[in-house]
Structure 1
Amino acid sequence: MRSPTREMFAARLLKFEEAYLTDYIEEVGYIKTTWLDPYKEKLVKAWVDQHLHFDNVVTSRVEGIHGLLKSHLEVSTLDFLKT
């Protein structure tokens, strides 16, 4: 998911296959055919970063706003309604 280049994605996929293919052949096949092959352009950084998204890479707006709010708070226990 976090592979910044297609080459790194291919290398990491190969490493994943080498680590798990012998013991989990069906599971690795499922991951590849159900998720990686059809959706890698939407999931892997190497493809996602080709499009302008203003660093909005979360799956819901609430998660994005929550992350933005947390990034501006200096203390995680701060009650922003009292400040």
Structure 2
Amino acid sequence: MLNPDKIQVYITVDQEGKIVLAEIGEKIIPTIPYDFFFLVDEETQKSLQGSLRSYKVVLNGMKPELVYDNALNSSEPTTIDSNK
């Protein structure tokens, strides 16, 4: 069962991991296939909705991570912990 305090994020990315399509909300039933799924807190949801193009998906080994891509904002990427 999903944590009711978490927000669902479905994401499709390009070859570089940049987000090209996203669906963000509570109790989403996706109608198309997405590349990745994350559970995030409300603060991250607001950040994603405000600056979606500043995020990307990076594979750390075999684990996908949603990161704030500071390359667009001039620094190192910051990993978003979706397991809070």
Q: TM-score, normalized by length of structure 2?
A: 0.28
Higher relative contact order (CA 8 A, sep 6+): 1
Q: TM-score, normalized by length of structure 1?
A: 0.28
- Choose 1 or 2 for highest CA Rg: 1
More helix by share: 1
